[in-house]
Amino acid sequence: MELLSIDIFSGVGGLTEGMHQANFKTVLALEIDELASKAYQLNHSDTTIITKDIRKVSIAEIKRKLDGKIIHLLAGCPPCQGFSSIRRLNRTTPVNDERNNLIMEYVRLVKALKPYTIMMENVPGLVEYDLFKKAIKILNEELNYEIDYKVVNVKDYGVPQSRRRLVLVGSRLGKIKVAEPNAKKMTVKDVIGSLANPEKSNDALHKIFPKHTPKVQKRIALTPKDGGSRKDLPKEYILECHKADNVGFNDVYGRLRWDNYSTTITGGCLNPSKGRFLHPEQNRNISAREASLLQSFPSDYIFPIDAPVSKIALMIGNALPPKFSYYQSLNIREHLENHLK
């Protein structure tokens, strides 16, 4: 059975990659960022992509692109950065960010296209948002979708990374549940332990990692291997801003641990001052390829290497881990096959 999908807010295609691994055919993607759209097209050339602000994309334009095709799964990750734990810090309310309202664009497309099933992934903080509750009410009561949602951790779905996400699934065909944790633990060593040193690699993406001043490089070299942190450094190498008690962000300038999950791969993953992104034993930050592997992208996934390093990091860190998408998509595929016999 050929099952067709749409990926909105598609980024570089992490969600699409997982859907394809679960044997969905993605016929349409929407993405506002031109660089991310370029990366998407480099990896998913058979998918039609609209590179435009979704708020400016008409239903008529989408239907023309679909040409009468029946959509089995509409999936997407509406950007809601105002609800991320990093943006909120100690706040009890979300940061005022216009992207918080994009969840209603997701609902707009569901209402117009009426796919058999839907999937949405987002930051856990979205659960308490009034527009999220409004969206569920519309999807369930007006559009007759059976809905389930929960906060899960991608590490329980074969991704070598601790990353809590909110997942919502829905179906017009019957009751559906978010996929249960179902994969063995994957560690940092499992996915990047066998990679050559970047200087000896033929992979251009693996050669991308930050270079530092001698003083910072010395600080990195003194950080104990396999999980060491800035707190383990001799006092003279601890930054003044880190010497005060109760200073947050304890993971900055920390090393990953070989036999554990990585910390969350964020848009700052190519900057050790942004988190625990130092290689477990080599005296450097993880490379762009290593970051993408910790996000569970295939080892040959293409990113525009001529882009600024900060942009490459954002594309990788903002993506939905494909392996996580795969298990959620496979769960939905089984649901569709059971109901569309």
Catalytic amino acids?
Answer: 80
Neighbours of 88 (CB within 10 A): 16
Indicate the angle between helix axes 14-21 and 322-339, nearest 10 degrees: 50
Residue 247 Cα distances to 90, 167, 231, 240, angstroms: 13, 32, 11, 11
Residue 118 tokens, joined:
């839907």
Indicate the angle between helix axes 34-43 and 309-317, nearest 10 degrees: 70
Residue 285 tokens, joined:
């930050």
Asked if 80 and 101 count as a contact pair (C-beta separation under 8 A), the reply is no
Strands of the sheet containing 164-171, edge to edge, are: 48-51, 24-31, 3-8, 73-76, 117-122, 164-171, 146-153
